Amino acid sequence: MFDEKLLMTPGPTMIPTRVLEIMRRQIIHHRTDNYERSFDELCENLKLVFQTKSTVMTFVSSGTGVMEAAVVNLFSPGDKVLAVSIGAFGDRFSEIAQVFGLDVQKFAVPWGEPAAPEAVREILDADREHKIKAVLITHNETSTGVTNDIKAVAALTKDTDRLLVVDAISSLGALDLKMDEWGIDVVVTCSQKALMNAPGLGFAAASEKAWAAYEKAKLPKFYWDFKKYRNGILKQSENPPYTPAISLVLAQNEAVKILLEEGLETVYARHKQAALAAQAGVAALGLSLLPEQKNSSFVITAVRPPEGIEIGKIIKDMNVSYDVMVVGGQKSLKGKLLRIGHCGYFNRFDLIKTFAALEMSLQKAGYRFEPGVSLAAVQKAFI
């Protein structure tokens, strides 16, 4: 009906006007003081979002690209890693490691559950010869709406020779992740989720322990070579090594400023409040979450569809009739899930609109409930 859709999807997410305004400007050259000033500022501010003193590197990439970059920069063929998977994105990390010839021990948890840190501890303890060099894990599993307890898992690898590599693609900038304090070795993320920018930028930061692993890593790399990017930022070599996504970098600088102006604690609290409101709305409709409520993510709410309702049709109708976009399930959860993103740039009324559209589509499909019941629940959670 209108040109603009409300994306309540877990990436891409909506983009603040201040950021859009920067993206529409004429291109500038990247070998200029103007660009460099903005990029330097972004690099410094990203450290605050990553909660690290390490250099945060920027790549022209989607999220998957930087997951692959982490693998090629840290390991040699045959290195053993523990890939913890609680859903589609955990599976992807495991698959990338396999493709590059690592010896992957996969710890797969039923979809809808988080990885129990105790279970990870048992696996690591059983590896008496310390063959496992690293743990790969997803912070927020976007496919199932479940968040892993990274702090507890990091406590298992911190102060050991093992690395912890975290896919924080749908979480960084929305959920608290203390890279340095918790002892995480590599954090990767990208621009189009909580960082409120268009798709196209990948980011990675590595601890001192990870940089020591880099020195020994033999997997081939050229474009993804972390050191070229870090040395550029540290002004020891060309900065950046290759043509950056100039417009996106300038836009990202603005988006990160907006995040910091709101304040990270406030941003985290906003996501939590939205999640609790969404959970209340779902319950009011007589529907259930895929995960147990205590494990349900603060950036995405995964809902089981009502019995006898074709959820794909609901999702499509919300989009076509009401201009609100949510998504379905992935892989084995296809047709079995409705996922509402509340990630990055959104406000309370965006969530209220989403439930209004959901109610209208459900009513049309013949699902019975008292109209307005989820709106009342969401409003109450926001008061």
**What is the contact surface with ligand PLP in residues (CB under 6 A)?**
10-11, 62-64, 89, 138, 140, 142, 167, 169-170, 190
Q: Are 327 and 295 in contact (CB under 8 A)?
A: no
Helices within 11-164 (DSSP H only): 17-23, 33-50, 63-74, 88-99, 117-126, 150-157
Beta-sheet pairing, 201-206 with 186-190: antiparallel
In the complex, least distance from residue 61 CB atom to ligand PLP, rounded to whole angstroms: 8
In the complex, least distance from residue 346 CB atom to ligand PLP, rounded to whole angstroms: 16
Nearest to ligand PLP of 137, 362 (CB atom): 137
Nearest to ligand PLP of 74, 284 (CB atom): 74
Q: Can you tell me the distance from the alpha carbon of 362 to that of 324, in angstroms, rounded to the nearest whole number?
A: 14
In the complex, least distance from residue 11 CB atom to ligand PLP, rounded to whole angstroms: 5
Nearest to ligand PLP of 138, 197 (CB atom): 138
Residue 341, strand partner residues: 300
Q: Are 203 and 196 in contact (CB under 8 A)?
A: no
Nearest to ligand PLP of 38, 138 (CB atom): 138
Angle at 171 between CA 209 and CA 225, to 5 degrees: 40
In the complex, least distance from residue 159 CB atom to ligand PLP, rounded to whole angstroms: 27
* Amino acid at site 22: I
Q: Are 268 and 297 in contact (CB under 8 A)?
A: no
Nearest to ligand PLP of 195, 278 (CB atom): 195
Residue 91 token pair: 């599976």
What is the number of the residue whose Cβ is closest to ligand PLP? 63
In the complex, least distance from residue 51 CB atom to ligand PLP, rounded to whole angstroms: 18
Residue found under tokens 């053993």: 80
In the complex, least distance from residue 90 CB atom to ligand PLP, rounded to whole angstroms: 8
Nearest to ligand PLP of 62, 273 (CB atom): 62
Nearest to ligand PLP of 45, 191 (CB atom): 191
Q: Is 131 left (phi over 0), alpha (psi -120 to 50) or beta?
A: alpha
Q: Is 271 left (phi over 0), alpha (psi -120 to 50) or beta?
A: alpha
Nearest to ligand PLP of 244, 344 (CB atom): 344
In the complex, least distance from residue 171 CB atom to ligand PLP, rounded to whole angstroms: 7
In the complex, least distance from residue 353 CB atom to ligand PLP, rounded to whole angstroms: 23
In the complex, least distance from residue 166 CB atom to ligand PLP, rounded to whole angstroms: 10
Going by C-alpha positions, the residue among 352, 349, 303 that lies closest to residue 145 is 303
Residue 238 token pair: 């060309």
Nearest to ligand PLP of 136, 284 (CB atom): 136
Going by C-alpha positions, the residue among 357, 350, 356 that lies closest to residue 382 is 350
Q: Can you tell me the distance from the alpha carbon of 239 to that of 325, in angstroms, rounded to the nearest whole number?
A: 38
In the complex, least distance from residue 50 CB atom to ligand PLP, rounded to whole angstroms: 16
Q: Are 259 and 253 in contact (CB under 8 A)?
A: no
H or E, element range at 283: helix 264-284
Residue found under tokens 């409709």: 285
Q: Are 175 and 121 in contact (CB under 8 A)?
A: no
Question: How much of the chain is in helix, strand and coil states, percent to nearest 5?
Answer: 45, 15, 40
Nearest to ligand PLP of 112, 306 (CB atom): 112
